[in-house]
Chain A
Amino acid sequence: MSLLKITSLKTWFPTRDGIVKAVNAVDLEIGDKEKLGLIGETGSGKTILGMTIIRLLQPSTKIEGEIWYKGKDLLKLCEEEMRKIRGKKIAMILQNPTTSLNPVLKIGDQIAEAIQLHQGLNKKEAKEKAIEMLEAVRIPSPEKMANEYPHEFSGGMKERAMIAMALACDPSLIIADEPTKGLDVTIKMQIIKLMKEVTARKSMLFITHDLGAAAEICDNIAVMYAGELVEYAKTEDIFKNPMHPYTQGFLNSLPRMGLKPIRGMSPSLIDLPNGCRFHPRCDHAEEICKNRHPEMAEIEKGHHVRCFLYT
């Protein structure tokens, strides 16, 4: 039974230079207590996908498709109804905790306000709960830290605070956008371990370009390129048997695999290549790849690929 089901999602931005097609016909499902990793390079559209789910984009954005959550299509809800879901049922941990925390408000208050709003507690109770949350994310001396401002926190602690904010109202789905970006290796591992613990009974969409982090936490992995999914499989299958040339290239670019980069540059989302979006950079490209757009197909059990090598 899936908690979140995304059908044919399109997110397009009209700009002066053309239409930026950030998300193109994406289908995705996240089950109860499932952790899904969304892998891709910068500019693949993965952050936009996350923001589309929680509808944090500008009103001028063109969004098509359906996002089913507990029997409701999120895209059809009005802003008021959506606000009741944000933070409470679906929470998003935004990128870059340094700029995502309000510098003039205390950390404790920033956590407590969501609690006050969604759970109807009064100020005092909400503050206590916020301190509990800080404790849950392993921040030392939580009572003291709750009264501090963001600039007092280190990078890793800020990330923990963001996690605490997301968990505060006990949502059933967490969208985490690059939670390990820019952190030291040791801190990274701590954050990953923490996230594994605190999201044990929740679903999570784990957006990252760090395959290692995804491998630790996620049950399944979806690979995104130029606004669409190109591969989807169980975590171990992606590593054991990466099918799409892009996924293979991605794995090869990891430090422990030799740091081999994928040739070429990521495509402009305004001027997408014809046919398969990856063909200009693909070593296996054929004639058909330049002209026809491949569809997502289930090649092995639970393993989907969008590539003419297999279809």
Chain B
Amino acid sequence: MHRITKIISYIALIILILSFNFFLPRVMPGDPLSFLTGNPTMDMPIVLDEEMRAKLLTYYGLDKPLQQQFYDYMLGILHGDLGWSIYFGAPVSEIVIGGLKWTLLLVGTATAIYMALGILLGAISAWNRGGKRDVELLTFVLSISSFPSFFLGMLFIILLGVNLSFFPISGAQTPFAEYSTPFEAAWDTFRHLLLPAMTLVIAHIGGIYLLMRNSMLNVIGEDYILTARAKGLSERYIMHKHAMKNALLPIITMIALRAGFMISGTIFVETVFAYPGVGRLLYDAVTYRDYPLLQGAFLIITLVIITANFVADMTYAHLDPRVKHE
């Protein structure tokens, strides 16, 4: 029963987002036409004569009644029609899907790394609570997570990218590169991933670290840890076998939220490193006021984040033996 309500609320959420996307250009101050056709700046209204204007209105369906427009819009979405990008001169859906694969690669890599690192460091910190290691880790992690990701990226470019040729400073692959083997391609991609991934990891590790530390501290205070000690088990064994599993349970739901933040954070990192993912597309859309692209990129980013949340929601129930048996 619970599952079905959850699924329904997610679907409702998606419909909400799609509707929002629909109404936004029609509700904002300004000429909806300029939002749909793309306009370099809003301060200069398009100077159109009446005939031209009427033609464009018909073309974009803006002269139809609102319900009809909404229906057409939803239908279009289901067919993958997200409009036409002015800046790129191509269908938005094509461009966005193209960028999506790079974003997923980057975010996937960074997530794997920062999860593992954050969880490990959080556990170590909690286990050594109050001790030197804990205080040092705490100070270090809190400090570096105060760097905004775009600033960090820029620093990395200047300090590492410019001086050391090992780290390329832009793009996902070397432009115009010809690869003789797939391994070469993979290596080139990997090199380009390094700095952006590192930036993402450092910018986001603070969150997971603190969550894990808190969760672990809660677990350490529990009676069953005392029981484990009473059996003569070693500290290390207790931390791994008894504490970790319990401490990780509440983290799982957090992972989804964190994934959301990371995908959002990717917008900045991709911009700084000129990495061709959806985040970068969003930036381009903002810079050039390419509204169809902006909305398309926004939609995809949001949908991906919501999907991640949904998946995590469903897996949490699976992992906790207490919840499973309900």
A contact set with B: CB distance below 8 Å: 54, 56, 83-88, 91-92, 94-96, 99-105, 113-114, 117-118, 149, 151-152, 162, 165
Contacts and interface: CB of A to CB of B under 8 A. Distances in A.
B226 interface: yes
13 contacts: A54-B230, A83-B234, A91-B230, A100-B226, A101-B227, A102-B242, A103-B246, A104-B245, A114-B233, A117-B232, A151-B321, A151-B325, A165-B227
A104 B232 contact: no
B241 interface: yes
Contacts of A118: 232
A100 B223 contact: yes
Given A105-B241, A151-B322, A94 B226 contact: yes
Given A104-B321, A105-B241, A149-B321, A56 B229 contact: yes
Interface string B216-232: 00000011101111111
Interface string B196-224: 00000000000000000000000000111
Contacts, number: 74
A159 to B, nearest CB: 13
A92 B230 contact: yes
Given A103-B246, A103-B321, A104-B246, A96 B230 contact: no
Contacts of A103: 224, 246, 321-322
Interface of B: 222-224, 226-234, 237, 241-242, 245-246, 249, 320-322, 325
Given A87-B230, A102-B242, 18 more contacts: A86-B229, A86-B230, A86-B232, A87-B233, A88-B232, A91-B231, A94-B223, A94-B230, A95-B223, A100-B223, A101-B227, A103-B321, A103-B322, A104-B321, A114-B233, A117-B232, A149-B321, A165-B227
B33 to A, nearest CB: 59
A150 to B, nearest CB: 9
Nearest to B245: A104
Contacts of B227: 94, 100-102, 162, 165
A101 B325 contact: no
A99 B234 CA distance: 20
A86 B231 contact: yes
Contact of A114 (B226, B232, B325): B232
B246 A113 contact: no
A113 B223 CA distance: 17
B233 to A, nearest CB: 6
Contacts of A162: 227
Nearest to A85: B232
B269 to A, nearest CB: 36
A114 B238 CA distance: 12
B233 A117 contact: yes
B223 A99 contact: yes
B316 to A, nearest CB: 13
B246 A56 contact: no
B187 to A, nearest CB: 41
B231 A165 contact: yes
Contacts of A91: 230-231
Nearest to B228: A102
A239 B166 CA distance: 85
B242 A105 contact: yes
